[in-house]
Structure 1
Amino acid sequence: MNQEQRVMEWIENHQDEIIQFLQQLIQIPSVNPWFFEEPGPSKEKDLQQFIAGKLEKLGADIEVWEPVADELKQYEGMAGYYPGRDFTGRPNLAATFGKGTEGKSLLLFGHIDVVMAGSKWTVDPFEGKVIDGKMYGRGTVDMKGGVAAMIMAVEAILRSGFKLKGPVVVGTVVDEEAGGMGALDFIHHGYRADACILTEPTSLTIAPLCRGILWGKIKIQGRSGHIEMPQADWQDGGAVDAIKKARYILEHLDRLNEQWAVNKTHPYLSIPCQVHVAQLNAGEYPTSFANEAEIVFNAQYLPSERDEKLVGGNVKKELTDFLREVSEADPWLRENMPEIEWLVDADCAETDVSHPFVQTCVQSLKAIGEEGKIEGLGFHTDMGWPVNVGIPTINFGPGDPSLAHHSDEFTPVAEVIQAVKMIAKTIVDWCEIEEA
């Protein structure tokens, strides 16, 4: 029996142990405190301590530390930086296996914070119950399934009687669900590798890119007036319906999206970048024209569109110029120019599919009986900062990403086992192993 067969056999024989470990991760409700209505203690530290205990038993060199926002000021205007954010009791963790070995190194990377459970669950969101081959629970998809898989892949190799010829770093970070400052801090802390697997859910496809995401709010001014009465021209003090002006802008957004549908595509993305309207807020009384209106939108951008700070400044300018041009054609808006308030800029990144590491991952996936499909992610992940410092990175993990943040979030148990196998196979081929 060769090396790979021994590792795969260990995984096959320890499936219950793998799934139990994922259950233990789910049972520690590491909800990002950003989602708390009132500040309260986070369970992120509890989970990191649990993970550290497991990795320590496997012989890792472990470092646990709390990010400090003031130490990251040099990244102002870049992805993941939020001044004044408090990380008390919210540590990052890095565990290094094979420290000092000379082979190629690998970073296994993931976030351990989850969004709040919310309502309409039919099972306990923090139990990790398995029903019909699916584990239910908050974080099974996003992304404790992936975190469990990457840790158990390392354990599978070590418990099979091997040692690493190249270092493997297991990195678990906080705060992805509220902007990615944990990942920024991890890279700032100095951790590097020759390649990285970010174990976000991909339904077991290889995702060498993710899109950037902009959230913005277009603020449109009107002038209130009695909705049932005749109104003078606006230049003579008459009412101006902010909702009607918002409709005018929305019509032009439709035309912009038609252009983007042609110009903002990527061969590994199934849908083009668009400006999606998520919220409309307007009006005060049923008897008054709206004094103001807000259009809250979500706009996506491609890695090729990043600005000099590696975020979405170019697309922000494009949308600002679009709004100004549209408004200049309307007499009221020209005099009362709408403004965009930017809410979020979540960065993106891409690794060339021809890179040897991407191809190694594809071959690993095919070796365990999967298609080896390459497909980009339409949403943001933490892959930006590893790529920014020169680490070729893919997203790969169990679970359907469309189920992230849902009530009754679940991941097929079989996908978790397959993810362990793929990651273990990649470690064997990329870092290489030898008898302990």
Structure 2
Amino acid sequence: MTGLLTERLGDVVDAYLGEHEAELLDLTARLIALDSQIPPYGDERAVAAFLLETLSSLDPDELEVVGPHPSRPSILARLRGTGGGRSLMLNGHIDTKPVGEARAEWRTDPFTATVVDGDLYGLGANDMKGAVAAMIMAARAVRAAGAPLRGDLVLGLVADEEAGAQHGSRYVAPLVRDVDAVLIGEPSGWTEDWQGIHLVSRGVCGFRIVVRGTQMHSSLSDRLPSVNASLKLAGLLSRIGTELAVPFTPHPLGGVGPTLNAGVLIQGGTYFGVVPGRAEFACDLRTVPGQTQDDVAAALEAWLAACRAEDPELEVDYAFEPGLEWVPWCELVPDHALVDATRRASQDVLGRTPPLSVFPGATDAPWYAAAGIPTLPSFGPGMLTSAHGPNEFVSVRSLHEAARIYARTVLDFCQ
């Protein structure tokens, strides 16, 4: 496909998407209305059923539901090209983080998409049901344009990203065939839309620090020796952030390193009248290329050994969190054809090319990369800043830009 033809088809998909802007917002709103919080539910059946019906209108050449259990469905839809070209998967997850303890802080109903001053509010608007809707509309635009793609366009709409992808992309990726690259639509800004084309996603290492004490009648704590597990925990919790040393090399794209969030979960004690005999806190470590789980284990063992040496009463150990013990980091080479196509599409739509960057969080990317498919970890509408908290939103403008960027990237890459 010549550059001139690509440009002409780009104008055609732009025109189609301009005529169907209301449809994109409606599709996003309908996805937000479907509860797919992970946790507490761990069940994407309702949103998957809606997407199956929606994707049927594309008349895909293949449409299948895959997953390890009927309650954890992911969807793969393929629009076949004429053959001989590169195939691209647009990937988005269909689950969300829970509303959680911040429910009272929402200014709108989390499950009713509400537009305020050009921003669309709702749970998953930003992370990442808006991007999923934009991908579907991009596929419709490419189909409507009659673009003579040689490669296939695949939509991968997956479950369970928010809880580690065991039932989602980690299961789906080995089943994917005849795909040359994957573009994931995670929100690519943190202070503004389209802040970077993220070639790297950090990994996740989840672990718990478990402290044991003396469970006994609390009225006797001034008369008999006892160890309050919660107090010992408090000391460790206040120290781990500055003392745990996991080796790393700053990444060339911005000198990015790991982050540790301690105490993302805290548990301890039995009830009033009882000296706490057990307490634990969970930690969320975001890793960077080059780090390994063995590095984390060695650092934890060294730190805890030093803490025990300082305090003979301290009985403490650690455990990696099942399912989140190691979500790998992922990296795409800067000169990959998908990066080039994404940059050209961005220039056409945004009038600028966002810099190459490191995504702050983890994505589905490592599981596709492990299956041998080069993956761009994050380029999508919205800002990560509003994800996982109250009043999640995505700008309406970025949603429309996303649909255009995805359509143009497909035209370019699948030529």
Aligned to 2:112: 127
Cα distance change on mapping 1:125 and 1:224 into 2, 3 Å: closer
1:60 partner letter: P
Matches within 5 A, 1:14-53: 14-32=20-38, 34-36=39-41, 42=43, 44-53=44-53
Q: 1:409 aligns with which of 381, 392, 401?
A: 392
Residue 416 of structure 1, CA deviation? 0.5
Aligned to 2:199: 208
Q: Give a deviation string over 1:321-351, Cα, whole Å, max 9, x none.
A: 4323432444334xx4x11122222332111
Aligned to 2:3: none
Residue 169 of structure 1, CA deviation? 0.7
Cα distance change on mapping 1:243 and 1:420 into 2, 3 Å: same
Q: Give a deviation string over 1:2-49, Cα, whole Å, max 9, x none.
A: 2222222322332222222222222333344x413xx9xx4x333323
Residues 52 and 62 in structure 1, CA contact (< 8 A), matched pair in contact too: no
Residues 126 and 387 in structure 2, CA contact (< 8 A), matched pair in contact too: yes
Aligned to 1:309: none
Aligned to 1:11: 17
Looking at structure 2, the residues matched to 273 and 208 of structure 1 have their Cα atoms a distance apart, in angstroms, of 16
Cα distance change on mapping 1:117 and 1:329 into 2, 3 Å: closer
Looking at structure 2, the residues matched to 270 and 130 of structure 1 have their Cα atoms a distance apart, in angstroms, of 37
Q: Give a deviation string over 1:109-152, Cα, whole Å, max 9, x none.
A: 11112234452233232222222211111111111111111111
Matches within 5 A, 1:228-267: 238-243=225-230, 245-246=232-233, 248-250=235-237, 252-257=239-244, 259=245, 263=248, 265-267=250-252
Cα distance change on mapping 1:269 and 1:382 into 2, 3 Å: farther
Aligned to 2:403: 420
Looking at structure 2, the residues matched to 280 and 21 of structure 1 have their Cα atoms a distance apart, in angstroms, of 38
Aligned to 1:189: 175
Q: Secondary structure at the match of 1:202?
A: strand
Residue 426 of structure 1, CA deviation? 1.0
Q: Secondary structure at the match of 2:313?
A: helix
1:130 partner letter: V
Looking at structure 1, the residues matched to 318 and 390 of structure 2 have their Cα atoms a distance apart, in angstroms, of 32
1:324 aligns with 2:305: yes
1:95 partner letter: A
Cα distance change on mapping 1:220 and 1:31 into 2, 3 Å: closer
Residue 390 of structure 1, CA deviation? 2.1
Residues 363 and 372 in structure 1, CA contact (< 8 A), matched pair in contact too: no
Structure 1, 19-28 or 276-285: larger mean CA deviation: 276-285
Residues 107 and 197 in structure 1, CA contact (< 8 A), matched pair in contact too: yes
Looking at structure 1, the residues matched to 235 and 71 of structure 2 have their Cα atoms a distance apart, in angstroms, of 48
Aligned to 1:71: none
Matches within 5 A, 1:26-425: 26-32=32-38, 34-36=39-41, 42=43, 44-68=44-68, 87-99=69-81, 101-118=83-100, 119-120=103-104, 121-180=106-165, 181-203=167-189, 204=194, 205-223=196-214, 238-243=225-230, 245-246=232-233, 248-250=235-237, 252-257=239-244, 259=245, 263=248, 265-268=250-253, 272-278=257-263, 279-282=265-268, 290-306=276-292, 312-333=293-314, 336=315, 338-343=316-321, 344-345=324-325, 346-368=327-349, 369-394=351-376, 395-425=378-408
Aligned to 1:82: none
Aligned to 1:83: none
Specify every segment of 5 or more residues in structure 1 that has no aligned partner in the other structure, as ranges: 69-86, 232-236, 307-311
Q: Secondary structure at the match of 2:63?
A: strand
Structure 1, 395-404 or 293-302: larger mean CA deviation: 293-302
Cα distance change on mapping 1:62 and 1:297 into 2, 3 Å: same
Count of aligned residue pairs for this structure pair: 393
TM-score normalized by structure 2? Answer: 0.84
Residue 244 of structure 1, CA deviation? 5.2
Residues 174 and 371 in structure 2, CA contact (< 8 A), matched pair in contact too: no
Residues 228 and 287 in structure 1, CA contact (< 8 A), matched pair in contact too: no
Identity %: 27
Cα distance change on mapping 1:328 and 1:124 into 2, 3 Å: same
Specify every segment of 5 or more residues in structure 2 that has no aligned partner in the other structure, as ranges: 1-6
Q: Secondary structure at the match of 2:320?
A: strand
2:243 partner letter: L
2:403 partner letter: V
Q: Give a deviation string over 1:143-200, Cα, whole Å, max 9, x none.
A: 1111111111121122123232211111111122222021122112233411111111
Q: RMSD of the TM alignment (CA)? A: 2.9
Cα distance change on mapping 1:246 and 1:271 into 2, 3 Å: farther
